[in-house]
A and B are shown apart, each in its own frame.
Chain A
Amino acid sequence: MCGIAGLIHRNGSSNIGREMTDMLRALKHRGPDSTGFAIYGEPEKGEYVLRFKVAEQEELALGHHIHAEIADRRAKVDALLKEMGVNVTELADATEYAFRYQIVFDGDLKKLADRIEDIEGAEILSIGNALELIKDLGDANVVSDQYGLGDFIGTHGIGHTRMATESDVDIRSAHPYWAYPYNDIAVVHNGQITNYWLMRRELERAGQRFVSDCDSELLAVYTAANLEKGISLEDSLTKSIGEIDGVFTYLVATKDELGMAKDTMAAKPMVLYETDDLVALASEEVSIRAIVPHEIDTYDPYDEEVRVWRA
């Protein structure tokens, strides 16, 4: 089933870490397996935030040796960053296996991402000027507390509660998906994509890289490939309705935009609340009401509807 949610403040920043946590907590019944956040803060000039993990949560149960292995993998990432001339200005470890590095780097971002992912067990969750992507097993409160999202200030964000239907219960298959290796693009999706392999092969032939077997990742890679060609977010969303088969409602966030698209059958839900200051949308209205507790006017976007809002 899965639940998706997004919000964007159109006149300044807010505590979107807390707001997204509240929205996703209200959608726990739609997907209890994992929770993910893609939240957009105020970018530091010239700096990137690198979020990566070096193990899956369930690996911790494999025995004592895994702790040493995790330390070893992290040391390899640190050594690589040094070798590639990356200046780490701040670092934090929310868990034993997932890390947040603030970095200064003016080299080839794709090359850096590829080299990190070549290290066994290492996977980049996101690289961005504004984007911070956090996902792990558990509900919104567990993940939010674990990664200290309660006081994250930013302009917009998207999130996902996952009910695993066609791939594993692990961080790799959790949403949101970062559009590897493009900074600041993230996607959450509710639905099933039926021409996934066809589209994936086409994108892989064009040089795009996939890190999971989850059909939702296709939307992230597809969007990034379009934006790279200079196609606007709105046009990419519109194009996707004709090119991607299946039932889907998905949200895309970039550095300063939030977009949504609904497939031609309108088979997956989405409720939209829009004011001059705030746009909030979610699979169910209860999620929006978690941050706007009074009576509100909402509507269901129709089939093939595409919307984009700017922060």
Chain B
Amino acid sequence: MAGVTQDQDTIAEEMGMHTIPLRGRDIKTMFRVETEGGYGYPFAKDVDFNKRAEIDCEGKGCTFVNKRIRELMDEGHGTIVLKNPGAQHSLVVGILNRLNIIIDGSLGYFGCGLLDGPNVRISGRVGWSFGENMMAGTAIVEKNAGSTFGAALRGGDLVCRRSAGSRTGIDQKGGTIIVGGDTGAFSGFMMQRGRMVICGNAGKNLGDSMYDGTIYVGGEIQDLGVDAVQGDLTDADRAWLTRKLKMYELLPKKGVEHFTKIVAGKQLWNYDNLEPTEKKIIL
């Protein structure tokens, strides 16, 4: 494990990221990697991905649907298909388990929040705050996403194949956000860690007040926010971008050489401890 950590730290440094360990949930307590079962919660359900079930969401409401997903997991279903979601809010939230979820349609606001482990695929569009606080797993949206896509993301891969709204990845704390099209204003606002890839254009104030993390933009950047600066695209960046974008079939034909890398200027680091005069200089 020590060797793996060393390599990760080296790569992170090469990509301009800080390597200070995050405080918060203690993974050593929650997950015992050496025990059988790996990264599961002690209360995780033993599901079979080949056991498939469907839920027709029409007229059901989010409470019913979310409870039904848990019932099906209790019965060992590892693949659950949601039909007719009808842009309802708060569907598929708080699932801390390995699970395949296929959503045949669009979601409203706060869809797929607080996930830790599932792989989700959505054929339609998602509304505001999709994937908020996701901790692990993948969620792939085939159409557009609303504002605050991936807010406070902590881990996993969150992908929107088309465009996402304003404040994409606000308060991002880890994981990867990939947007195939454009994003709106204030994307990466107060980003603390993790990576965001915007294949199209980024709106104004990109990376405003970001503390750490990396944003890659394939198109035009309207303007940068406070303390967001351009970094050098290294070979490690290129390799990572190529691997990730290829994984989600979003790798541009011309490769990744045209991507601009944005990192924190670190002038806001420990901002609260600065003297008022120093704050004025920074802002």
Interface residues of A (CB under 8 A from B): 264-266, 269, 271, 284-286, 288-289, 293, 295-300, 302-303
Taking CB atoms, residues of chain B closer than 8 Å to A271 are: 127, 146
**Closest residue on chain B to residue A302 by CB atoms:** B184
B106 at the interface (CB under 8 A from A): yes
Taking CB atoms, residues of chain A closer than 8 Å to B70 are: none
B89 at the interface (CB under 8 A from A): yes
Q: Are A297 and B125 in contact (CB under 8 A)?
A: yes
Q: Are B144 and A299 in contact (CB under 8 A)?
A: yes
A300's contact among B89, B144, B186, by CB below 8 Å, is which? B144
Q: Are A284 and B108 in contact (CB under 8 A)?
A: yes
11 cross-chain CB contacts under 8 A: A266-B167, A269-B127, A286-B89, A295-B124, A297-B143, A300-B146, A300-B147, A300-B184, A302-B165, A302-B185, A303-B203
Q: Are A266 and B147 in contact (CB under 8 A)?
A: yes
Q: Are B185 and A286 in contact (CB under 8 A)?
A: no
Q: Considering the complex of A and B, which 7 residue pairs feature the smallest CB-CB distances, nearest first?
A: A285-B87, A266-B166, A300-B165, A303-B185, A302-B184, A299-B144, A300-B146
B57 to chain A, nearest CB (A): 12
**Closest residue on chain B to residue A296 by CB atoms:** B106
**Closest residue on chain A to residue B127 by CB atoms:** A285
Proximity bits, B110-131, A CB within 8 Å = 1, else 0: 0000000000000111011000
Q: Report the Cα distance A298→B165, complex, angstroms.
A: 12
Q: Are B105 and A295 in contact (CB under 8 A)?
A: yes
Q: Report the Cα distance A289→B124, complex, angstroms.
A: 13
Q: Report the Cα distance A297→B128, complex, angstroms.
A: 15
B79 at the interface (CB under 8 A from A): no
Taking CB atoms, residues of chain B closer than 8 Å to A295 are: 105-106, 123-124
- From B88, B89, B165, B167, name the one whose CB has the most chain A CB atoms within 10 angstroms: B165
Q: Report the Cα distance A285→B144, complex, angstroms.
A: 12
Q: Are B144 and A269 in contact (CB under 8 A)?
A: no
A126 to chain B, nearest CB (A): 32
Q: Are B87 and A284 in contact (CB under 8 A)?
A: yes
- Given that A295-B105, A300-B146 are contacting pairs, would A266 and B88 also be in contact in the complex, using a CB cutoff of 8 Å? no
Taking CB atoms, residues of chain B closer than 8 Å to A269 are: 127-128, 146-147
A62 to chain B, nearest CB (A): 40
B163 at the interface (CB under 8 A from A): yes
B86's contact among A266, A289, A300, by CB below 8 Å, is which? A289
- Given that A266-B165, A302-B203, A303-B204 are contacting pairs, would A285 and B108 also be in contact in the complex, using a CB cutoff of 8 Å? yes
Tell me the count of chain B residues lying within 8 A, CB to CB, of chain A: 26
Q: Are B128 and A266 in contact (CB under 8 A)?
A: no
Proximity bits, B177-200, A CB within 8 Å = 1, else 0: 000000011100000000000000
B183 to chain A, nearest CB (A): 9
- Given that A266-B166, A284-B108 are contacting pairs, would A298 and B125 also be in contact in the complex, using a CB cutoff of 8 Å? yes
B273 to chain A, nearest CB (A): 28
Taking CB atoms, residues of chain B closer than 8 Å to A296 are: 106
- Given that A266-B147, A300-B147, A302-B203 are contacting pairs, would A285 and B184 also be in contact in the complex, using a CB cutoff of 8 Å? no
Taking CB atoms, residues of chain B closer than 8 Å to A299 are: 125, 144, 163
- Given that A271-B127, A298-B125 are contacting pairs, would A286 and B86 also be in contact in the complex, using a CB cutoff of 8 Å? yes
Taking CB atoms, residues of chain A closer than 8 Å to B108 are: 284-286
Q: Report the Cα distance A284→B109, complex, angstroms.
A: 8
B282 to chain A, nearest CB (A): 22
A288 to chain B, nearest CB (A): 8
Q: Report the Cα distance A296→B85, complex, angstroms.
A: 12
B144's contact among A266, A286, A298, A303, by CB below 8 Å, is which? A298
Would you list which residues of chain B between 84 and 111 have a CB under 8 Å from chain A?
A: 86-89, 105-106, 108-109
Proximity bits, B65-80, A CB within 8 Å = 1, else 0: 0000000000000000
**Closest residue on chain B to residue A287 by CB atoms:** B87
B229 to chain A, nearest CB (A): 22
Taking CB atoms, residues of chain A closer than 8 Å to B125 are: 285, 297-299
A3 to chain B, nearest CB (A): 12
B143 to chain A, nearest CB (A): 6
Taking CB atoms, residues of chain B closer than 8 Å to A289 are: 86-87
Q: Are B127 and A284 in contact (CB under 8 A)?
A: yes
Taking CB atoms, residues of chain B closer than 8 Å to A265 are: 166, 185-186
